[in-house]
C-alpha cells in the first residue's frame, strides 16, 4: 500500500496560540464535497422536525454509560467510509474496534469530556490534548487487531493523523479533540450529532479552547462546517480512498457552559 499523503490547504491565517486572529473559511475545498446543497437542505429539514433532546455529560468512572456509548460508537464507526476502505471484506471485527476505542479512552487519564444524547442514540468521547493525552502518547499504535494487514493500515493512518494533530497543537496549544463521535445507524438524520457538537462547543467556549476533529463523511463535514469548524488539512490514502478532513474551531469569547 502506498503511503498516505496529506496536503495543507492554503488559508490566510493559522496563527500561534494567543493570537486574536482566527480561521478564515476556506471555500476552495467545498466543491470537493459532492451534493453540498442537497445534503445541507436535507439535514436542515430533518433537524427542524425533531425535538431537541437533552445532552448528558458523564464520567469515565460511570462504567454503564461508558459501555453503552461504546456500543453506539462501534456501530457508527463500523459503517464509516474509512473503516470500510481499510477493511473492504469486513476484516475489522466489532471486538477489535471496541478494543481500539476503549484504548483511546484509557490513554486519556483524566478524560471527562464524554457525552450522550437520547439515551445513547448518539455519543461522543473527547479529551484535552496535550494535558490529558501527552504528545509522547499521540503516536502510539492502535490496539492489537486480529488481522495484521488491517492493523498495518490502521497504524499508518493513525501516524498520519497524529502528525496533523501535532501541527495543530504547535499553532494553538491545548485543544479539545473530538476523538470519537457517532450516531446509531437507525437514528441518523435526526439532528442528534449536531446537538452533541454544539454541547462540546459550549464547553470549549467556556474554557476558551479550540476544538479539533477529523471528518470522513460528507454528512459529518457539512455538520461541522455549519457549527463553526474550518477545514485545516486533508489526508488521503490513495486516489480512490475517502478524504479525511482535519478541522478546527476557534473559541467564541464569553460563552458560559451549561453542560
Report pLDDT for 240.
Answer: 79
Residue 127 scores a pLDDT above 80: yes
Cα separation, 84 vs 78, in Å, equals: 7
Residue 36 scores a pLDDT above 50: no
* pLDDT (tens digit per residue) in 204-256: 999 999 999 999 998 899 999 999 999 999 887 777 778 999 999 999 986 66
The model's pTM is: 0.74
Residue 189 scores a pLDDT above 80: yes
φ, ψ at 5 (rounded to 5°): -110, 145
Which of 131, 211, 224 has its CA nearest to residue 179?
Answer: 211
Q: Which residues of 113-144 are buried (b: 16+ CB within 10 A; e: fewer)?
A: bbbbbbebbbbbbbbbbbebbeeeebeeebbe
Report pLDDT for 107.
Answer: 61
Are 119 and 72 contacting, i.e. CB atoms less than 8 angstroms apart? no
Q: Which residues contact 177 (CB under 8 A, 6 or more apart)?
A: 126, 127, 128, 129, 133, 165, 211, 212, 213
Q: Which residues contact 129 (CB under 8 A, 6 or more apart)?
A: 135, 138, 165, 169, 174, 175, 176, 177, 212
Q: How confident is the model at residue 15 (pLDDT cuts 50, 70, 90)?
A: very low
Cell numbers found for residue 145: 487487531
Q: Which residues contact 127 (CB under 8 A, 6 or more apart)?
A: 108, 110, 111, 113, 133, 176, 177, 179
Q: How confident is the model at residue 53 (pLDDT cuts 50, 70, 90)?
A: confident
Are 215 and 161 contacting, i.e. CB atoms less than 8 angstroms apart? no
Cα separation, 184 vs 71, in Å, equals: 9
Amino acid at each position: 500500500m502506498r503511503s498516505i499523503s496529506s496536503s495543507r490547504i492554503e488559508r490566510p491565517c493559522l496563527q500561534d496560540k494567543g493570537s486574536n486572529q482566527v480561521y478564515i473559511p476556506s471555500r476552495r475545498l467545498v466543491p470537493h464535497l459532492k451534493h453540498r446543497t442537497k445534503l445541507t437542505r436535507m439535514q436542515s429539514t430533518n433537524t427542524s422536525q425533531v425535538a431537541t433532546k437533552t445532552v448528558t455529560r458523564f464520567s469515565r468512572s460511570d462504567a454503564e454509560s461508558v459501555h453503552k456509548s461504546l456500543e453506539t460508537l462501534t456501530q457508527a464507526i463500523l459503517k464509516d467510509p474509512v473503516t470500510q476502505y481499510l477493511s473492504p471484506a469486513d476484516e475489522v471485527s466489532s471486538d477489535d474496534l471496541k478494543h481500539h476505542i476503549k484504548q483511546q479512552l484509557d490513554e486519556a487519564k483524566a478524560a471527562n469530556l464524554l457525552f450522550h444524547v437520547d439515551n445513547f442514540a448518539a455519543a461522543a468521547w473527547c479529551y484535552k490534548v496535550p494535558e490529558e493525552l501527552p504528545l509522547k502518547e499521540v503516536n502510539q499504535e492502535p490496539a492489537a487487531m486480529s488481522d495484521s494487514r488491517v492493523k498495518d493500515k490502521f497504524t499508518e493512518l493513525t501516524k498520519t493523523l497524529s502528525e496533523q494533530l501535532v501541527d495543530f497543537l504547535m499553532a494553538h496549544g491545548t485543544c479539545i479533540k473530538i476523538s470519537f463521535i457517532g450516531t446509531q445507524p437507525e437514528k441518523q438524520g435526526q439532528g442528534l450529532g449536531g446537538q452533541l457538537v454544539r454541547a462540546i462547543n459550549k464547553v470549549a467556549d467556556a474554557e476558551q479552547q479550540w476544538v479539533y476533529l477529523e471528518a470522513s463523511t460528507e454528512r459529518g463535514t457539512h455538520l461541522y462546517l455549519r457549527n463553526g469548524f474550518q477545514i485545516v488539512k486533508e489526508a488521503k490514502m490513495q486516489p480512490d480512498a475517502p478524504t479525511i478532513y482535519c478541522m478546527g474551531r476557534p473559541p467564541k469569547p464569553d460563552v458560559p457552559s451549561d453542560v
